[in-house]
Amino acid sequence: MSERDEIEAIQQLKYRYMRAVDLKLWDELHDTFWPEVVCSYGDGTHSFEGRDAVLGFLRDSLGGNLVTLHQVHHPQIEITGPNTARGRWYLVDYVINAGPDRPLMKGRSTLLGAAFYHDQYEKRDGEWRILSTGYERTFEQFDDLPESSEVHSRWDAETG
């Protein structure tokens, strides 16, 4: 494969990762990580080693009927060796907790934020996966959800 094709494959990996996060597809998310993956979200306040720890954190913090939007832009991918690469992405994320308080987010509130991701990828048996990932925030804005806000999501049924 050409370097351009490798970069394209890595971008597709990142898109699968993001889609799995926002659709809460934990099995698909599992398959984007190598077992020894290291993750550091929120400027290092939430760091995890190993796929099980990472997945456990993501399920706990993003599961249930929380609405999340994670979109990544401006890919700057660099092939650093025959089977290694690093990438920088510009994240924008938006989270709605229309329900009661949760561990990381109070009830009836929203979060809007942006960050620069720094990832490392490795290719094994022809397949690129994430070896480490993390981001540094530019900003986070927490707001109360206005009383007049009407939120519909595909997880409404789970609100109960």
Binding site residues, a second copy, CB under 8 A:
4-5, 8, 12, 14-16, 18-19, 22-23, 67, 69, 71-76, 90, 92, 94, 96, 112, 114, 116, 136-144, 146, 148-154
Q: How far, in Å, are 16, 33, 69, 80 from residue 21 at the CA level?
A: 9, 13, 9, 27
Residue 114 and residue 131: Cα distance in Å, rounded? 22
72 in the Ramachandran plot: left (φ > 0), alpha (ψ -120 to 50) or beta?
A: beta
Q: For a second copy, give the closer residue by CB, 5 or 125.
A: 5
- Rg of the chain over Cα atoms, rounded to whole angstroms, equals 16
CB 92 to a second copy: min, Å: 6
CB 108 to a second copy: min, Å: 11
Q: For a second copy, give the closer residue by CB, 127 or 142.
A: 142
Q: For a second copy, give the closer residue by CB, 44 or 142.
A: 142
Nearest in space to 73 (alpha carbons), one of 51, 61, 90: 90
Q: For a second copy, give the closer residue by CB, 49 or 138.
A: 138
